Amino acid sequence: MTSDAIVVGAGVIGLTSAIVLAESGRRVAVWSRDPIGDTTSAVAGGLWWPYRVEPEEKVGAWSVRTLGVLAELAARPGETGVRMVDGTLAGTGLGDLGPWAAEVPGLRPARREELPEGWGHGLRARVPVVDMPTYLGYLRRRLEAAGGTVEQRAVATLAEAAREAPLIVNCTGLGARDLVPDAEVRPVQGQLVLVENPGVDEWFVAADPGSADTLYVLPQPYGVILGGTAREDVWDLAPDPATAEAIVARCARVHPPLADARVIGHRVGLRPARSRVRLEADTAAGGVGFPWLLHNYGHGGAGITVAWGCAEEAAELVSSC
């Protein structure tokens, strides 16, 4: 065997998991059905915030650990794609958050004058906003610097990887629905609109976890990402023009100049939702035994938020065997 571990999946969860293993001294190969730039992670908005992910009792620690790593990477935004940006979460109070909120530096209630018309309360925070294409490129370079490799290679079963390495880490996201198989994994469709920046320098989010329509404005170096949707069990990857128009209209209520901003792109991604993240060792899948099979999938809309915490816990599980 030429690898100590094969990580299946090259989104943010897979690449981060591979880096932690490779930097601990293991020979790691990442297999991905799609190019890194075509993964769900590549079209994500890129805001650090625990969103649509369970279990709550573990997500907090994963998120805080990832926040610490991203804050360090923000010192080199041109290289990593990570910046620390001020912003507002409208319609949410400190009491709506878990204990993890106490670990977010500077998180505080928003003052009345800091909220757009229509919102009576909210929070202010300075958190990472990640340019995902740049960040994924950074993760690949970091993995390769640690001796890891990335190969575009689709697998029909996890047993294919098990024939080539003693440790398999399953980071296939929505693909786990068929590959494991795990019927608990299901899509939550997110549609975004990318526009030229008319002067937005802060992020803004008003997202009801129970609603199929959300509102977020995320400034990136290449424009402003406007969102969005959270439509459960929708598999369609084609942008809907009427939905895009509604997204721009919602965001323009917060930043009126967005109504006339030139649209430069549309994005649709399928969040890999599950009742709770599956981060655990397994001994078999599909009736085929594995020396070591580790699952790390089902992160919903919070892959970027929990990636480093989950990757480090996965590595600890491997080290404890």
Is residue 149 part of an annotated ligand binding site?
no
Is residue 216 part of an annotated ligand binding site?
yes
Is residue 92 part of an annotated ligand binding site?
no
Distance, CA of 37 to CA of 313 (rounded, Å): 26
Is residue 32 part of an annotated ligand binding site?
no
Is residue 40 part of an annotated ligand binding site?
yes
Cross-strand bridge partners of residue 294:
169, 281
Is residue 301 part of an annotated ligand binding site?
yes
> Which burial class, exposed, middle or buried, applies to 239 when counting CB atoms under 10 A from its CB (0-12, 13-18, 19+)?
middle
Is residue 265 part of an annotated ligand binding site?
no
Distance, CA of 143 to CA of 20 (rounded, Å): 9
Distance, CA of 84 to CA of 89 (rounded, Å): 15
Distance, CA of 63 to CA of 68 (rounded, Å): 9
Is residue 175 part of an annotated ligand binding site?
no
Cross-strand bridge partners of residue 273:
186
Q: What angle do CA 174, 294, 309 make, to 5 degrees?
A: 80
State yes or no: cis peptide before 181, omega within 30 of 0: yes
Q: What angle do CA 286, 292, 295 make, to 5 degrees?
A: 65
Is residue 222 part of an annotated ligand binding site?
no
Is residue 305 part of an annotated ligand binding site?
yes
Is residue 263 part of an annotated ligand binding site?
no
3 state SS of 65: helix
Is residue 41 part of an annotated ligand binding site?
yes
- Residue (of 297, 15, 292) closest to 144 by Cα position: 15
Q: Which residues participate in the annotated binding site?
A: 40-41, 155, 172, 216, 271, 300-305
Q: Which residues participate in the annotated binding site for FAD?
A: 40-41, 155, 172, 300-305
Q: Which residues participate in the annotated binding site for D-dopa?
A: 216, 271, 301
